[in-house]
Chain A
Amino acid sequence: MPGILIVASALEGSMGRSSVELTGAARNLAGPLSLPMSAALVGQGRGIGQAVETLQQYGVQTVYRCEHPALTPGQSDAVLAALDLVVTKAQPELVLISADTVGREVAPRLAYRLRAALATEVMSLAVDGRAVMARRQVYGGRAIATLEVTARPAVISVKPRAFDVPQPQPVRGTVEEISLTIDPEALPTRVREAQSERAEVGLDDAQVVVGGGRGVGGPEGFKLLEELAAALGGAVGSSRPPADEGWVPITWQIGQTGKSIRPNLYVAVGISGAAQHVAGVSGSRTIVAINKDPEAPIFSLAHYGIVGDFRQVVPALVAKIKAAKGA
């Protein structure tokens, strides 16, 4: 059935939020283009049955369910093999994939195989006539490009967290089993080991994020930021230099190359506010900047600015927050 196919991934044994975000992204197109929404559900483990129900809750009419023990985290070659089968069956006009570790490898490869058009890292979607208008950041977030996608099929990769989880829209759907036969040993890439650096409060879903930059000076400085984040009930992130220097895990990096976040509150500490960092935080509801340089570009983005040395400001802030909470 030609329509919009989203790629729902349950590689970790259950389906994550990014797949639900894709149903929201697809709704921007499904209505105006009068296209049905289907999903390629790829993965393994017990959570996959639940995933089918979740997808139907969010309006997916046909679920092409492909289970295989090789469909595990990071196993792009296996996912691509599964998608080859699903697209042959579903003949979609549009394929939406989350631009995560696997998605950013798979989306261009699938486009190549389908001779499809490709738009990557998309942050908003609309329709103009028959064309899909996809918007994305370019030039380190300094500009927004609008791509007009007229070709069919087209593959679109969507930046994680760019779309909200939509309101449920339950449908009674059908499930088609897709049977994948691959020999994991024969795949050209194989994930041997995974090393998790996930913090207690994940950056992606935190409502409050404290970001530290080169101005924080080293790992000791980040201890202060962790105290601030704990007082605010949030997570810690960083600009690129602290991640590059190894002061903090690479997973903390926010910005063009790092994560895009949209918390209620973002506190930038010792961060100058380069375009490539701002690219990842400009969607935050409220932004506070703490920087000793009153001319730092971050202040042109922030709602509240504190000019000062973070070594004095942050402990003062922690004390006041604790006092306020105690009161």
Chain B
Amino acid sequence: MDTIVCLKQVVDPELPQWDFAIDPATKRQVRMGKPLVISTYDENALELALQLKEKTGGKVTALTLGPQGEVKDAVRLALAMGADEAVVIDDPQSPQRLAADKASVLAAAIKRIGRFDLVLTGCESADWVERAMAPFLAEALGAACVTFISRAESRDGALSVRRTSEEGFQTVDVRLPAVLSVTSDEAIRPRLPKVKDIMAAMRKPVANWTRADLGAEDAGGAKGVEVKDVSIPERTTKVEFLEGEPAEQAEALVARLRALKIL
């Protein structure tokens, strides 16, 4: 199974609130000086790809679109985790781009990489959360599509995947080639590379391409959708702490809930 995993680099989404700010010029999160990480679910996607490779063989390629100077750590981590090679598409503007725009570039890169059975993405990026990349890529590549999966098993040249749904889980049979988006699950916790893996990663091939190489033109703000404003909502609630022993705290809360007619 040859798999391409799309990795996005984001500002660490778990930074505390006080460290979060919007740059009025770009209308995006301030990146300067903040720790950058591989977007949460993309690491799960990579882990799933590596597990599939361990069972069925094949090659895992990490693919990322980002400002070339920034993505080195992400690429090195992906290779150290076990990806066989990496492709970096340099695009200093990519943190501002929407999924529709990025999908055309990623699809062009995937076509240039050539052979693949599977493309994996995260179910949502930790920062912009469009949840749109996998379906876009599936259309652009003429592949099958299932999103929010957490398990995949190879079966007679096809895949059986587990998709999260409103009610629980669905087992879905998928033909290849397919584009799948991956959510989290205990079975696909990203592995931690060992020192020898980190050393081995230094020798793995990394291809550096540009948007121009791929013939992807600048859509200049994805087709009739513009980000007009990004603002941090103000919280105005003021908490009332209920003091005392647990029984007194409970009594006080019950009184409040009664006053609110919740009880």
Contacts and interface: CB of A to CB of B under 8 A. Distances in A.
Nearest to B171: A193
Contacts, number: 262
Contacts of B164: 101, 250-251
Contacts of B124: 256-257
Interface string B174-207: 1100100001111000000000000000000000
Interface string B89-119: 0000000000110000000000000000000
B222 interface: yes
A223 interface: no
A118 B100 contact: yes
B163 A146 contact: no
B257 A265 contact: yes
Interface stretch (B59-67, B75-83, B209-217, B233-241): B233-241
A190 B262 contact: no
B226 A147 contact: yes
Nearest to A137: B129
A227 to B, nearest CB: 13
B166 A251 contact: yes
Contacts of B174: 188-189
A189 B254 CA distance: 51
Interface string A104-143: 1111110111011111110000000000010011111011
Contacts of A100: 166
Nearest to B164: A250
A187 to B, nearest CB: 9
Interface string A140-153: 10111111111110
B262 A286 contact: yes
A321 interface: yes
A183 interface: no
Interface string A285-309: 0111100001001011111111110
Interface residues of B, number: 82
B174 to A, nearest CB: 5
Given A142-B17, A189-B145, A193-B171, A317 B240 contact: no
Interface string B223-263: 11111111111010101111000110111011011101011
A198 interface: yes
A226 B152 CA distance: 32
A136 B124 CA distance: 14
Main secondary structure of the interface of B (DSSP, over half): mixed
A158 to B, nearest CB: 13
Contacts of A313: 246, 249-250
A200 to B, nearest CB: 13
A196 to B, nearest CB: 5
B139 interface: yes
Contact of B223 (A151, A257, A286): A151
Contacts of A289: 239
B192 to A, nearest CB: 17
Contacts of B246: 308, 312-313, 315-316
Given A313-B249, A316-B246, A118 B228 contact: no
B244 to A, nearest CB: 9
B240 A118 contact: no
Given A305-B239, A305-B240, A321-B254, A244 B185 contact: yes
B229 A117 contact: no
Nearest to B184: A244
A149 B225 contact: yes
Given A105-B135, A188-B175, A304-B239, A319 B250 contact: yes
Contacts of B22: 143
A304 B170 contact: no
Contact of A139 (B29, B168, B227): B29
A142 B230 CA distance: 10
A224 to B, nearest CB: 13
B225 A147 contact: yes
Interface of B: 13-14, 16-17, 20, 22, 27, 29, 41, 99-100, 123-124, 126-132, 135-136, 138-140, 143-148, 150, 160, 163-175, 178, 183-186, 222-233, 235, 237, 239-242, 246-247, 249-251, 253-254, 256-258, 260, 262-263
Given A148-B225, A305-B242, 11 more contacts: A101-B163, A120-B130, A140-B13, A143-B230, A151-B223, A152-B224, A196-B168, A244-B185, A274-B14, A301-B235, A321-B263
- What are the nearest 8 A-B pairs in CB distance? A151-B224, A197-B168, A188-B144, A108-B135, A112-B139, A316-B250, A316-B246, A117-B224
27 contacts: A74-B165, A74-B172, A101-B166, A105-B145, A105-B146, A112-B136, A116-B223, A117-B100, A121-B130, A137-B129, A138-B230, A143-B232, A145-B227, A146-B228, A150-B224, A151-B225, A188-B174, A192-B171, A195-B171, A196-B167, A257-B41, A257-B124, A265-B262, A297-B17, A306-B241, A306-B242, A315-B246
